[in-house]
Amino acid sequence: MRHFLFEFITGGGLSGQPLSDALIGEGEIMLQTLLNELSELEMSEISLSRDSRLDLIDREVKQYVIAEAIEEKLPEFLKKSDVSWLIAPETDNCLIRSAELFIKHGNIFIGSSPEAIKIATSKYLTNKKLAEAGIKVVATQWLNEAILESEKAWVVKPDDGVGGEGTRLINNKNDLSKLINEKVSENLIVQPYIEGKHMSMSLLVFNDDVQILACNKQYIDEKNDSIKLVAIGVNECLSFKDEMLKLAKDIVSIISGFAGYIGVDLMQVNNKLYVLEINPRFTTAYAGISESIKCNVTAKILETFLNKKLPNIDLDSAKPVRINV
């Protein structure tokens, strides 16, 4: 079976543009995990694209070196594959545009529908859609709207940002007013800062059904005016498995079209889970799941799309695994 892997950051998606060291690091973690686990499967022929500014992967896989815009070359790579795997950020609609190309030119696309991606790409739209359905969310509004009430501080971030890039912690109401008046961007949202435990859940979704892959703790570093994810404790929050599964089922019943691996960022406040955002793609936590649950999770994802139904995932013997970002 021929597999094509496209990790947007390291695979040439930013040819002609600056490369972010932070996003390269996270991209490499997810790409190497996918590559390692696919390599364990027999009869797998793997190809991938690689930004010409980065070293080639030290493996016997076919690598397309990309030094210019990749969009014109992707259809050719996709048509040569049986299964295509996409890892891309939501920023500037990169994920949705790539997914549309993969669906149009590929065979089996491991990913969600463009419609589901469009909603999840926007933290604002996701927040409003879930809130209307009664899901607990952290209040979210556009930065240029009236100032939200907050007991401590405010978090300002890009509506379609990933990896915490561009996220700012504003401790002073006057500073927030100044930022609003500067009209720095129309793509910024603001949320009240909430004291609580940062978590995430890793899901396997297909045909509006869902399995929990991992219940994770997020380790956050707050320095000056920045908020940064520094590590993920994969399956460190298994005591919340039942609550997370119920929440996951509610989410996929509200937003149809999710498929494959999905990450959901959460806040746990007073033993209640609040949704921060939905990532319709692989997240860094993916890199620790197979070790945690003692099985090849990539094989389980592939099995889902080939058999068109979810496999059984047993978390009873899962162990915590720490992933440093």
* pLDDT tens per residue, range 91-129: 999 999 999 999 999 999 999 999 999 999 999 999 999
Question: Would you say 117 and 134 are in contact if contact means Cβ atoms under 8 Å apart?
Answer: no
Contacts of 2 (CB under 8 A, 6+ apart): 45, 46, 47, 80, 81, 82, 83
Domain ranges (residues) in the chain: 2-110, 139-192, 196-221+228-324
pLDDT of residue 238: 97
Range 231-243 average pLDDT: 97
Architecture of domain 196-221+228-324: 2-Layer Sandwich (3.30)
Alpha-carbon distance of 104 to 78, in angstroms, equals 9
| Partners of 189 in the β-ladder | 142, 157
What is the mean pLDDT of the segment spanning 30-42?
93
Instruction: Note whether 325 and 230 are within 8 A (CB).
Output: yes
Please give the average per-residue pLDDT across 76-85, as a whole number: 97
Reading the block at residue 263, the tokens are 């990450």
| pLDDT at residue 11 in the model | 97
Least confident of 174-183, 214-223, 300-309: 174-183
pLDDT-derived band at 223, boundaries 50, 70, 90: confident
In the chain, the amino acid numbered 25 is G
CATH number, domain 139-192, options 3.40.50, 2.60.40, 3.30.1490, 1.10.3470: 3.30.1490
Q: How much is the average pLDDT of 221-240? A: 92
Q: How far is CA 141 from CA 144, 184, 207, in A?
A: 8, 16, 31
Six-digit token string for 301: 């994802």
Report the length, in residues, of the chain. 325
Q: What is the pLDDT of residues 94-103, one digit of tens each?
A: 999 999 999 9
Q: What pLDDT score was predicted for residue 22?
A: 83
Question: pLDDT tier at 301 (50, 70, 90 boundaries)?
Answer: very high
Q: Is the pLDDT of residue 43 over 80?
A: no
Q: Assign 250 a pLDDT band (cuts: 50, 70, 90).
A: very high
CA 213 from centre of chain: 14
Output the pLDDT for position 183.
Answer: 73
| HSE value, Cβ hemisphere, 13 Å, CA-based, for 162 | 26
Cα separation, 239 vs 212, in Å, equals 13
Q: What's the CA gap between 309 and 272, in Å, rounded?
A: 30
Nearest to 114 by CA among 99, 125, 127: 99
Q: What is the largest CA-CA distance in the chain?
A: 61
Kindly indicate the confidence band of residue 277, based on its pLDDT and cuts at 50, 70 and 90: very high
Q: Which CATH architecture has domain 2-110?
A: 3-Layer(aba) Sandwich (3.40)
**Mean pLDDT of all residues belonging to the chain:** 94
Helices 297-307 & 286-293, crossing angle to 10 degrees? 100
β-sheet bridge partners, residue 214 = 202
Q: How confident is the model at residue 268 (pLDDT cuts 50, 70, 90)?
A: very high
pLDDT at 133: 98
The pLDDT assigned to 212 comes to 98
Check residue 312 and give its pLDDT: 92
Percent of the chain with pLDDT over 70: 100
Give the tens place of pLDDT for each residue, 282-299. 999 999 999 999 999 999
- The 8-class DSSP code of residue 187 comes to T
